[in-house]
Structure 1
Amino acid sequence: MPLYLSKFSYTPETWARLIRNPEDRRVAAQAYIESVGGKLHGFWYAFGAHDGFTLWEAPDDVSMAAVALALSGGGAISALETTVLLTVDETMDALHKAAQVQYRAPGT
């Protein structure tokens, strides 16, 4: 199954609610991804441009998109970016296929 790395930021209101009532959000994240047949591999909070990161496994892009849409529409997250991760083998396959693409630079 494909892997996905998500970067997220909470709204100030979400942080205020978590301060008043601390909650391990890994449990919720795990339930979200499992509802579409996936798996949560990791959940981390961070300092910097984003408040946290998750590493998910999902059956396909549509399933991961469903989770991302539900999270984005829930109102607790101010930003969510999800990146599809490729294995080295998948990247090697893409490199071999790229050799078959007859690319032409604009204006040439």
Structure 2
Amino acid sequence: MPLFITYASYSNAGIKGIIDKPIDRTEPIRAVVEKAGGKLIAAYMTTGPHDVVIVTEQADGSDAVAVGMAAAASGAVAKLETVRAWTLDEFKGIAQKASRCAEAYVPPGR
């Protein structure tokens, strides 16, 4: 299954919830990911521009977006970004395809 990385930042209400009831958030995250048909690979609290980084396997991007929408709808998440990830070996195949396609591409103005 495709791999997705989600970066999330909690809203003020989300941070208050974490402080009011400090628990390991792995299982609540796993539950919503599995409800969408995916698998939680890893979940981390982080410093910097994002509070949370979540790595999941999902059938496709729409499942990953549905998980994010469900979390955002709760009001506990202020910012969310989900990206598709490829292993380096998988990306080699993409680069090879791009190499084949490049000869057919005509840049603007030529």
Counterpart of 1:7?
7
Quote the Cα distance in structure 2 between the aligned partners of 1:23 and 1:95: 42
Backbone CA RMSD of aligned residues: 1.3
Q: Give % identity.
A: 33
Task: Write the distance in 2 (CA, Å) between the matches of 1:24 and 1:92.
Answer: 37
CA contact (8 A) 2:13 2:75 kept: no
CA deviation string 1:44-87 (max 9, x = no partner): 11111111101111122222121122122221100011110012
Quote the residue 2:43 is aligned against: 43
Per the alignment, residue 107 of structure 1 pairs with 109
Deviation at 1:90, TM superposition (A): 2.2
Aligned-residue offset at 1:27: 0.8
Structure 2 letter corresponding to 1:50: H
Structure 1: gaps spanning 5 or more residues: none
SS at match of 1:99: helix
Residue correspondence of structure 1 range 1-108 to structure 2 within 5 A: 1-101=1-101, 102-108=104-110
TM-score, structure 1 length as denominator?
A: 0.90
Q: Which runs of at least 4 in structure 1 moved beyond 6 Å after TM superposition?
A: none
Give the whole-Å Cα distance in 1 for the aligned partners of 2:14 and 2:99.
Answer: 48
Number of residues of Structure 1 aligned to a counterpart in Structure 2: 108
Unaligned runs of 5+ in 2: none
TM-score, structure 2 normalization: 0.89
